[in-house]
Structure 1
Amino acid sequence: MRTLSKYIVIILVSCFTASFSQTGKIQSVKDDYRDFAYVKTSEVLLEVANKGYRSVELLQQLANSFYFRNEMDEAARWYGELIALEEVVDPEYYFRYALALKGIQDYENSDKWMAKFNELKPDDLRGKAFKSKEDYKATIEDLSRDDIELENVDFNTEYSDFGITEYENSLVFASARGGGRKYRWNEQPYLDLYSVEKTSQGYGEVKALEGKINTKYHESSAVFSPNGKYIFFTRNNYYKLKYNEDDDGINRLQLYRATLSEDGTWDEIHKVHFNSEAYSVAHPVLNLTGSRLYFASDMPGTFGQSDIFVVDVNDDGTLGTPENLGPSINTEGQESFPFINTNGDLYYSSNGYPGLGGFDVFISEELDKKVSEGSSRNFPIENVGKPVNSEADDFAYYENLVTKRVYFSSNREGGKGSDDIYTFEIPECEQYVFGTVSDKDSGELIPGATVRLYDAEGTEIEQLIVGDDAAYKFSLDCEREYLIRGEKGDYIAYETRFSTPKKNQELLLKLFLAKDMQAIGPCDDLAKILDIPIIYFDFDKSNIRYDAEIELQKVIAVLNKYPTMTIDIKSHTDCRGLASYNERLSERRAQSTKQYLIDNGIDSGRLVAEGYGESQLVNDCGCEGESSSACSEEEHQLNRRSEFIITSIKGERCNEN
């Protein structure tokens, strides 16, 4: 039983050589705070951007600020500026840009950027795609389910039984139980199609399918049209009592279509037009609407020993021209037994991708939808994991998403025959996301914050206002993509995107919000308030670089807003190098920074600039003794900083020495 049954050898081997609904508003400063000075980060960003200064981070934050307030005209403007930088950005920004354009009825350009988003987004679905060969075992283990209990169905026999499909209230499958002439490869009878009724107690009596479908040769792998009028099935190349072989004496597999007669039997057997004596065509399955049929074949254009193909189904049951699903589904090995569930997901068996052994079952989500849309043949796949897959051959996967019942076939150890049918009920999957909302700087909880949950398309699903414990919790669906956002008043909204697995999970996501509006006063450092990193200069130079200009424009925006504000510009170095050199270099850089502010309209009388070299280190990374050698580059970096200390504002002075 650990080797592929001879029936499957014949069948597989010898025959196959949104837009977000956020409508928040900017809250005005409360009366209680009217005597304090504040910096609103979004206003500073807008002022800097309006002056023509651009960076990816600045434009992302600015565009998002309008997008979250549903001001799509401004959002479209700044997302457009972001894209125009031609820098690498998260594909999510293409999505938002498209929706912002749609919000101003620019549908042509919206479609353009939505297409770009669709092109880039599959690259982000690595968690649902087939993993690299180096870690495939760990990946399969992660995808496996320990909450599934397999059942070997009662109607299995000592012979080969496989390939379930549903028809009305019955299961239809292939079996060698029928007696009669035996197949010489395994000394078992030839396969026929059988049906068994589902009952409240389990299963009824197994009966051969009525009509003209079964013959003295192999029949297997049936599928019924949605209206119940047609059945497609696999048979040896045996038609009108004639047994046909190719030039090498091999009898290939072919697809046939039968029609339901008035007496409830299947007759009017017809070959599909692309059958051939030179190659095999087998294992048909229809999509939900019956508009497309998927099958396996080694016809010309096949990448390996057998591939998965798709063909359109005409209203009269005839078929169009087959197309290969391409190299992301097919390999140089064998791919067979396709199945399309009602969601359009493709399940199929392959031995061409790393697996647990023999044939494993793989899934490509929403493949039928992608085929319908005419998208490229780049279909991510992943192994469905244990217990469906094993070290043996696992194939002929079938699931009913309404009844939550799955059937598949395997020749694993412990079965009743050479191939057995197994079944299980899809377990209920419980998913939760929970966490707290806290201040990014202080770590303090933020009661009264709003937490919103969105689906992958940006539609708001649920929202809540957190209580004194600042805690939230949402129930989720499995195998879905979500975005969660925390927001409150004078804070900048924080959001994160995540996907849920197939397994039960409680996901902890803490939301940290940064202040958008911060009180400022004498002795405060604008560099910290505006989150300005070190003002970078080229090595051994003191000229202002473009990336430093963007940061300095934030300082200019604040100085213009508060004309009474004076500041002390302080430039610092780490300890490495001669102390005298560091002092001179930092002095030149401080004066260069001051001059830049003056050149941009700031009165020189409001500015003091001084270089401190290495005299005011913020840690123990001095260069005397052993302390310097013990410090990391990151620790030295903390000492290479720029400060913009407010020395006076609105008549109040800083008394710090």
Structure 2
Amino acid sequence: MVLNMKKIFIYFLPVILFSAIVCQVQAQSGLLRYAERKALESNYFEAANGYSKAYNKKATYAAAKGAAESYTYLRDYQKSYDWWVKAVNFPEATNNDWLAYIAAANQADRNEAVFLALDSLTGTTLGPNLNLDSLKYWYGNKPNSAVVGVDGLNTNSAEFGFSKDSHGTVYFSSDRGGELDRKKKGLRIDKSYKYYNKKSDWTGRDYLSIYKMDESGEVTKVSVPVPDVFHSTDPFVLQKSPVLFYTVSREIRDSGSYEVYPEIYYSSINEEGQLTDFKGLSINAPLEYSLKTPYVDEEENRLYFSSDMPGGFGGFDLYYMNYSDDFVFEAPVNLGSEINTTGNESNPYLREGKLFFASDGHIGLGGLDLFESKVLGDGFSGVKNLGIPYNSPQDDFAFFITSDNKTILSSDRPESRGWDDIFELETRYKDFQALILGCDGEQLTGNLEVSLMEGSDRINVEIVQDGKGKLEASVAPEEDFEIVIKKDGYFSIHDKSLSTKGLKETSLEKTYQMVRVPYNTTAYVDLVFYNLDESAIREDAKPSLDKVAELLKSYSFLNIAVRSHTDSRASEEYNEALSERRADAVRDYLGQFGIARSRIEASWFGEKEPTNNCGDGVPCPEDQHQVNRRTELLLLAFPEEGKAYQLPPEMQGLDLCDVSNIQLPADLPTIYFGFDQASLSVNDMMALERVALMLREMLYHRLEIKGHTDNRGSDAYNEKLSEKRALVVKKYLEDKGIAPSRLNYEFFGKKNPINDCGDQPCTPNMHKENRRTELSLPKLKKDWTNKEE
């Protein structure tokens, strides 16, 4: 008996399973038919539930695609993406399904899925409404700004649209107020601006209304005087007159099932801010087509709006109607194929010669995107997607610019608190602008080698230059930067102080001065002297050479020119060899300090360049011959012509457009005289030879010469004597080739003594200190070698 029962069970098992499968198929078929019927009724909420249940009964391509499409209509982008993932994995999936999957991935902010799908669809026809190359470009470039919710307007409901009157009152749309009883008529306007019939009942949310926020932040509902209104939305307030345009959908008492389409009305606003009257456009046809999103160009007396009236390009198109001062409107004019597409265009807005609008027909990031087009008379030129962050994978619309240049838009992007939010564009990235000037204040023309680096990782920032000394870039907020600017023949600029941290302004502006490298500029001079027929370094020369060696050791941008000479006694051949030995003696002395010979340019002239007229056959006293036995020491800054020198840190902050700032101040001598004398000793001559050499090499310097006496003798006599003492120095320097215009002399007699010998007796040495001629440079520059300053 058991065996027989087992056989019966085995016999009936296929029948049972087949019956279950048939029931399951029939159940799924019923759910699919229900879902399809609800989709035809535009009740996508119930359609999505039906397709989802059908798929759970049996995973089929039709159920997955139906659920994906339903959630797309509901603009639930995450669920839409989840279902398209399922749909495209069926073998029945088409290229159009893949295109819808990419759109859903884009709208769900799944960029990686977009780019992976791009590879899968290479070579296929992607359709007119999605350009993956554009998507890749938009997502691959960091936006220069971000959006933030406008304070006081957004809730967890839907808020969208923005219009502001001349008193600062903001008008917007919202369905705040909570969920309604499901029995209430389910008429609903959403972002796609499709208005559904009374049977749709698919959201359970409150109707849309117009609200306003005053300058104090108080929000109140605006009561629309049009009777039997379900929705009132899209407010646009005029600036020159107290009039508000808006969109309504209203209950029209008629039998049967029908779709109610929105209309455009306008009302006057009284002093209390209330709408007092109403008038609809003559072209309103609420049982035939829609009118919505009014915008008024008050300068041109022109009303712009969106409509799906017959005769358009498909979906909603943008139109305008001219009107008279008393609001008599002419026939509507379609904006044409440059603006309108087979998709939907809405939310027109004009500013500074541009038309801004929303569209899902032009190439975009997904859903409605914001676009702009140049206004040319009654026509338009080009359509440009505003890109990120104006646009997102979701819907972005209702563009507006306030009188204080704040950019406003509406969106249901992920940052939204509710169904839609009103956002303000906030500049994240700062505009960096640098002007590069030369020494004369002129903009530096020609190409510059520029590196702008961000943060501790020194990420290169793209920078644009106009070839006329202007640099521009977008730089991240709250970051540190450094910039390096190079040009052949100029000191490079290296600024590590750039920062946008705490920067409230929208731009970071800098002006830099680029200075030509003053190649082979004499920075310091000195002289050493020799005994007759000798090349050995004298003791009195060692302090000078020690200082030169120290400067060469400390500053790599200095080299030295060593130029040696002899007097005229002995033959030319002998003297040339002697001057060479003197140059070698200086090189050897500096070599003791580690100064490389490559930094010492030695030359020798024998008796060819005397400082006076003591040439061959000319009788001269010994002191005249002594000043000819010399080696000139010239420290040259930036000696390698064409080398790209960095600005030495010691010279940071100096005005190097003035070459004299590179030159070190010399230790100028004071010339002392014997009693009642105005003649120079050999030591005085050697001291003045150094001064003459400095003035010949440093042409920007002018010398002050001031003569003095002691207090013995009359005022008149001493005044003349002090003049002679100043003039003897001046004449000596003039004889060395220094232009008289560079030598300014004064004389003071006994007026300015070093030692006051009037009331107290002075020693002979104290009197000698008063008998002097002082030398000074009137514009003595800072000594950049003095590190303590």
Instruction: Establish whether TM, by shorter chain, passes 0.5.
Output: no
TM-score in terms of structure 2 length = 0.36
Over alpha carbons, which structure has the higher Rg?
Answer: 2
Higher strand share: 1
Higher relative contact order (CA 8 A, sep 6+): 1
